[in-house]
Amino acid sequence: MRMSRRGFIGTTAALGGLAGASAAQPRCPTAADTFGLLRQGRRIPVILDTDIGGDIDDTWALCMLLRCPELDVRLVVSDAGNATYRARILAKLLEVYERTDIPVGVGIPPGDERGNQSDWIEGYEAIHASPDPVTLICIGAVPNIAAALARDPSLVNNARFVGMHGSVRRGYGDGSAPAPEANVVNGPAELRAVFAAPWDCTVTPLDTCDRVRLLGEKYQAVRGCEEPGPRALMENYRLWKPGWIQGGPPVETASTTLFDTVAVYLAFTEDLLVMEDLALRVTDDGYTVVDETQKTVHCAMDWRDLGAFEDLLVERLTS
């Protein structure tokens, strides 16, 4: 059974490299490479892989993404089961934001049996076609990415991975112990494959993203914005909350935790975060444990200025 992130709170393409890339230990792009594009006055190509339609933070993250001038969104893909439903939400939000130029991919369900929806992998040319490194922003479990890596490991030659995954020193809530995090629990084997691949991996675990929520004037600025995007976001929030969370602050006063927005931020900068390189082992029960025998993952472990991030989030959402 798939578990939602809120459930944990309550209970505790072929994707290919660039043609002609060197076969002898090609250098995989890093965060510095992609951030360097901005210094050249260019945008960072990104693909969003999301389980939108479950927890509402994916919807907030997509709305933020579509208002980030640093990022050039090439494709959005639904993942982690019920993919057609998720793709319909993506398509409708893209229409609201007048971004119907962005293709919508319907992802595979957990597992990798051949089915009617598998052709998105074979036709997934965004990384092939990009002259600049592509950043994969992954804000759900990663069956799509693991399947693509298995079919064509060379995708790492022109891509980096940015995700909302894990819990290293903090779980759900201030002072909490590390916890099994939903995006990990819903596909630990797939995340192990992603972390083990020879590309640059950056994540926001619960240590940082669990602290993001909008309150007071910041929240009211989004709630009261009359632009079509924020209005659609608030409509989705009002529809979603009664079925997912009993109690807590009412929709009129605050957001829920906006985990996934931090992954969007990490696609173009790390300035407001304290980053650490940690070797992470993914356990079958959804923990991400420091283990020096594993490959290093670039982890956002603390905030330099959480308030400034909240201000940026509000500015992007209401622009």
Q: What is the mean pLDDT of residues 287-307?
A: 98
Q: Over range 205-221, report the average pLDDT.
A: 98
Whether 45 shows a pLDDT value over 80: the answer reads: yes
> Is 203 among the domain residues?
yes
Gap between the terminal Cα atoms of the chain? 38
User: Looking at the domain assignment, is residue 18 inside a domain?
Assistant: no
Among 118-132, 135-149, 221-235, 300-314, the minimum mean pLDDT is found in 118-132
The whole-number pLDDT of residue 95 equals 94
pLDDT score of 72: 97
Q: Is residue 151 part of a domain?
A: yes
Characterize 267-277 residue by residue with b for buried, 16 or more Cβ atoms within 10 angstroms of its Cβ, and e for exposed: bbeeebbebbe
Q: Does residue 299 sit within a domain?
A: yes
Q: How many domains are there within the chain? A: 1
Confidence (pLDDT) at 27? 78
- pLDDT for residue 119: 40
Among the residue ranges 99-108, 131-140, 268-277, 302-311, the one predicted with the least confidence is 99-108
Lowest mean pLDDT among 64-68, 133-137, 150-154, 171-175: 150-154
* Residue 20: per-residue pLDDT: 30
- With respect to residue 13, please indicate whether it lies within any of the assigned structural domains: no
pLDDT in tens, 143-185: 889 988 998 898 999 999 999 999 999 999 999 999 999 999 9
Range of the domain at 114: 32-318
Helix pair 306-318, 57-65: axis angle to 10 deg:
70
- CATH at residue 176: 3.90.245.10
In the chain, the percentage of residues whose pLDDT exceeds 90 is: 70
Q: Does residue 246 carry a pLDDT above 90? A: no
Is the pLDDT at 96 greater than 60? The verdict is: yes
- 220: how many CB neighbours lie within 10 A of its CB? 15
Assess if residue 162 is contained within a domain. Answer: yes
| Residue 257 is assigned to a structural domain of this protein | yes
What is residue 126's predicted lDDT score, i.e. its pLDDT?
60
Q: Return the pLDDT at 245.
A: 64
Q: What's the mean pLDDT when you consider all of the chain?
A: 86
3-state helix/strand/coil string of 248-301: CCCCCCECCCCCCHHHHHHCCCCCCEEEEEEEEEECCCCCEEECCCCCEEEEEE
pLDDT band with cut points at 50, 70 and 90 for residue 4: low
